[in-house]
Amino acid sequence: MNRDAIYGVKAAVFDLDGTLFDSARLWSQIDIAFLKKRGLYPTPEYKRALAALGNMELARFTVDYYRLSDTPEALVREWTDMALFEYEHNIKLFDGAKEYVLDVYERGITVVAVTSLVRELAEPCLARGGLLDIMKSLITADETGLSKTSPEIYRYAAKTARAETKACVAFDDVARAVQSAKLAGMTTVAVRDAVGEGDCGQFEYADYVVDSVSDAPRLFAEDAPTSDG
């Protein structure tokens, strides 16, 4: 366990897939199955695009990249249908993730989720994991029209939490999202990719790099204790 602590935290901003949800392998399987039906395969460039784009943004990219006749809306529906049963019944939180988030909440820190998932997938898994009711807000890239590759979605998250970005800690497993949160002014905790895919190997914008959320520094709402010297 990482024994570092972060003080003066007003809000904790959690990514879902790959950070709280053990779901990366599912999406790899969906990507392969979806493209295989069309006689295609996921290229390294496509995999990099998958990491931080919201569903609709990714759907537009996919249609352009593979020159598909499908509409972006049809792709989002197909992906959601392929994943829905798994998110409702089988996708689990990483070991220790629930306990960590509950500890944050019980310390009076506002908990926010920022995700590229559609709400239809995120909410059932959060509810089954016992975390939905403690979330101040669930911010999705599609609903806000903001990408996790932009600091704006993190500024928006801070606003919904009624906190300055400098008093927020963001957790993510994707390097570009970590960079965006850092550029927004947040303290950043990078969670190493569980399956070794995507662009999450270079965390130059991370203040902390951990193997799992349960290894992250403990968060405290109050300022750091002072020494009597």
Q: Which domain holds residue 58?
A: 24-89
Please state the domain count of the chain.
Answer: 2
Tokens matching residue 135: 């979330």
Among residues 224, 175, 212, 229, which one has the least CA distance to residue 97?
Answer: 212
> What is the average pLDDT across 176-197?
85
Instruction: Report the pLDDT value the prediction gives residue 1, as an integer from 0 to 100.
Output: 41
Q: In this structure, are residues 16 and 129 in contact, taking their beta carbons and an 8 Å threshold?
A: no
Report the SS3 class of residue 208.
strand
Q: In this structure, are residues 166 and 185 in contact, taking their beta carbons and an 8 Å threshold?
A: yes
Q: In this structure, are residues 135 and 112 in contact, taking their beta carbons and an 8 Å threshold?
A: yes
Which residue among 89, 109, 142 closes a domain? 89
Are both 197 and 106 inside the same structural domain?
A: yes
Q: Which residues pair with 190 in a beta bridge?
A: 172, 209
In a domain, 132, yes or no: yes
Does the pLDDT at position 54 exceed 50?
Answer: yes
In a domain, 107, yes or no: yes
Q: What is the CATH number of the domain that holds 150?
A: 3.40.50.1000
In a domain, 224, yes or no: no
Are both 159 and 207 inside the same structural domain?
A: yes
Q: In this structure, are residues 11 and 160 in contact, taking their beta carbons and an 8 Å threshold?
A: no
Are both 85 and 106 inside the same structural domain?
A: no
Band of residue 51 on the pLDDT scale cut at 50, 70, 90: low
